[in-house]
Chain A
Amino acid sequence: MAQHNETVLSVSDLRTEFHGGRGHIRAVDGVSFDVGRGRIVGIVGESGSGKSMTALSIMGLVPKPAGKVTAQSIMLDGTELTSLGADGLRRVRGRDMAMVFQEPMTSLNPVRKVWEQVGEPLAIHKGMNSRQIRARVLEMFELVGIPEPKARLDAYPHELSGGLRQRAMIAMGLICEPKLLIADEPTTALDVTTQAQILRLMLELRDRVGTSIIMITHDLGIIAEMCDEVNVMYAGQIVEQGNVFDLFDRPSHPYTRGLLASIPKTTEKRTDGRMPSIPGMVPNLERLPPGCRFNPRCGDVMAICHEAEPPLGEVGGGHLARCWLHSRKADGPAPAAGAVL
């Protein structure tokens, strides 16, 4: 991903651990990726793969004291987030980076008027008075395509539909023109037509406002449509990283291939009457299998996969995969002695 001249966000070796009553869980384990200016970077994975936790870790919203976030560096447009205290991070949130959540029905406070909430970042970060805030919120409502924006300013959240609420949430996220917007499954709770509208809106806004977007989803269709680069996550790690065209052309990790194969296609006639899926379940993070974390579900499993964890190796053109299949070919970091098959 080095081909982009400007990097807005650079995450390196992000680790998020939870010390619960039953032990120690690494929800995010050594995640590194970059987001270029005006780019849309996808994070895709099953539930529990750590994709939302990655977003919360970057935002500094991991619940404390249970969760502990460490990283070599999280650089947001020249600011090192890891060295900011809680208060410093709070000043960055909403101003330089914002987040849109999955559930538009519950991410607005039911007892406050919409404009107050959408304009809240302005009150916090820009110290605007309520007349200025109203004017700016109205502009944003027009920008995100809320019909009759003036009448909607004083609406309560329950008076808006899910699609409108998500538009309002996006307006809230972008109101301070942040450098980075993290969208955590922004369309999962919406019906398909609204979904398409919201996605198109986000693409348009990216072009207008120039905000970089991290798009978290479990839907590879959204990734294909929206993203420039993709990170595939599995059990807290990035297992494949690359340009979106490259990744869909040459899925290099068996997990990515499995995900692609599980997209139902109308053109194929299935004889067994079953949808293709990856066998097995996401492993319990407390009891990870030895070696490669995907080995119990992998169709291409080899002896070494049970012995050592594969490195995230180059498979060509900046495309990375965490799989022994490629580490030999691409002669990445020398694998352990057991690698000789």
Chain B
Amino acid sequence: MTVTASSPEVIAEPSLLREGIAAFARNRVALVGLAFIVVLVVVALFIPWISHHDPYRVALDEQFLPPSLTYWLGTDNFGRDVLTRILYGARISLLVGTLPSLISLVIGAALGILSGYVGGKTDAIIMRLADMMIAFPSLLLAMVVMYTLGANLLNIFIALALVGWASVARVVRSETLALKGKEFIEAARANGTSRLTTMVKHIFPNVIPTLIVLFSLSIPDAIMWESSLSFLGVGVQPPEASWGLLVAKGKEYLLQAPIVAIAPGIAILLTVLAFNFIGDGLRDALDPSMKD
């Protein structure tokens, strides 16, 4: 072929993903957050082998012991080790933080892409639904769900997913609208790509960075939600331990043993903070609007 080009054809540029990871690794605060979460997850997973205390054992003769070498953070009103219960609580809190976020992310992404790409009546209906969800006090909604369906872990998932999808859908929709006008979408249509394939193969991969960021930022929200619901008594039920529940139960003995309520509170604080750091780091690393 006579038309072999001689111009420099490859622009040396690392791949998008590698670039993103490198940018994230440069962010110290985000790395600290990540380290904290990794340690927390590992400890929560292996807590039965790490701690020799039984989180459910009642020992009334050991009520409200002060911190000691055996009980690092002391004991609660039933003589149970506070630290062990917090770490068992981390299992539920982390699960509740990630799973419902994932569910609302999937629902929100699907509806957001559909809404933005198809437009018209579909868009109007989905977005009005989302507006309703956002306008309604979400804590109240979650409480109603928990109250009617019963307080258990599965229903917490349902309640949180129901509350969370709307804001995801909104963000994804606006992103889809921007993508829809891009030439590669028109090029895909010119190839005879169906609408469904266009949404799945062309729009969705472009929304993934946004979804990652939304996910990491919605985990702390979900943890807070679960804590609130448990605190209010419609979430996780004793003797299970979740952080919100620990705070709720601990507050009754705030004057006798403040650490029982404060320690799980600090756990919530640190975890939420760590996830927020990670989320900010991811957003800075992946958000295309931060580049160029």
For A201, list chain B residues within 8 Å (CB): 1, 3
Which residue of the partner chain B has the closest CB to A95? B192
Task: Check B191 against A93 for contact (C-beta < 8 Å).
Answer: yes
CA distance A93 to B191 in the complex (A): 5
A111 contacts which chain B residues (CB < 8 A)?
16, 205-206, 208
Q: How many residues on the A side are at the interface (Cβ–Cβ under 8 A)?
A: 46
**Chain A residues numbered 90-135 whose CB sits less than 8 Å from any CB in chain B:** 90-95, 98-99, 101-103, 106-112, 117, 120-121, 124-125
Smallest distance from the beta carbon of B71 to chain A beta carbons, Å? Answer: 52
Evaluate contact between B190 and A94: CB separation under 8 angstroms.
yes
Given the interface contacts A156-B16, A158-B13, A161-B9, does A204 sit within 8 Å of B184 by beta carbon?
A: no
Contacts of A124 in B (CB 8 A): 191-194, 197
Q: Residue A194 at the B interface, CB < 8 A?
A: yes
Contacts A147-B5, A158-B11, A200-B3: A59 and B190 contacting too (C-beta < 8 A)? yes
- Tell me the complex Cα distance, A158–B191, Å: 21
Q: Is the CB of B192 within 8 A of A200?
A: no
Looking at chain B, what size class is its interface with the partner chain? Answer: 20 to 34
Decide if A137 is an interface residue (CB 8 Å cutoff).
no
Number of A-B contacts (CB under 8 A): 112
Tell whether, in the assembled complex, residue A193 and residue B190 are in contact, meaning their CB atoms are under 8 Å apart: no
Establish whether residues B206 and A161, one from each chain, have CB atoms under 8 Å apart when the complex forms.
no
Shortest Cβ distance from A185 into chain B, in angstroms? 12
Closest beta carbon of chain B to A237's beta carbon, Å: 25
Within 8 A of B (CB), among A153-202: 155-156, 158-161, 163-164, 169, 172, 193-194, 197, 200-201
User: Does B15 lie at the interface of the complex (its beta carbon under 8 Å from any beta carbon of A)?
Assistant: yes
For A109, give its contact among B3, B7, B188 (CB under 8 Å). B188
Residues of A within 8 A of B120 (CB): 65
Residues of A within 8 A of B201 (CB): 112
State whether A93 touches B183 (Cβ < 8 A). no
Q: Which residue of B lies closest to A200 (CB)?
A: B3
Cβ < 8 Å to B, chain A residues 198-234: 200-201, 204
Q: How far is the CB of B103 from chain A (nearest CB, A)?
A: 24
Cβ-closest chain B residue relative to A161: B9
Confirm or deny: B202 has a beta carbon within 8 angstroms of a beta carbon on chain A: yes
| Chain A residues with CB under 8 A of B206 | 109-111
Q: B186 — which chain A residues lie within 8 A by C-beta? A: 61, 101, 107
Look across to chain B and name the residue whose beta carbon is closest to the beta carbon of A56.
Answer: B186
Q: A94-B193, A110-B206, A143-B1 are in contact. List 20 more A-B contacts (CB 8 A).
A: A59-B190, A61-B189, A93-B190, A94-B190, A95-B192, A99-B190, A101-B186, A101-B190, A108-B184, A109-B205, A109-B206, A112-B201, A124-B193, A147-B5, A159-B10, A159-B13, A172-B191, A194-B5, A200-B3, A204-B1
For the complex of A and B, the 3 pairs showing the least CB-CB separation, nearest first, are A94-B192, A94-B191, A93-B192
Q: List 25 A-B contacts (CB under 8 A).
A: A61-B189, A90-B194, A93-B191, A94-B192, A98-B191, A101-B187, A101-B190, A103-B183, A107-B183, A110-B16, A117-B184, A117-B188, A120-B188, A121-B192, A145-B5, A147-B4, A158-B13, A158-B16, A159-B10, A159-B11, A160-B10, A193-B7, A201-B1, A201-B3, A204-B2
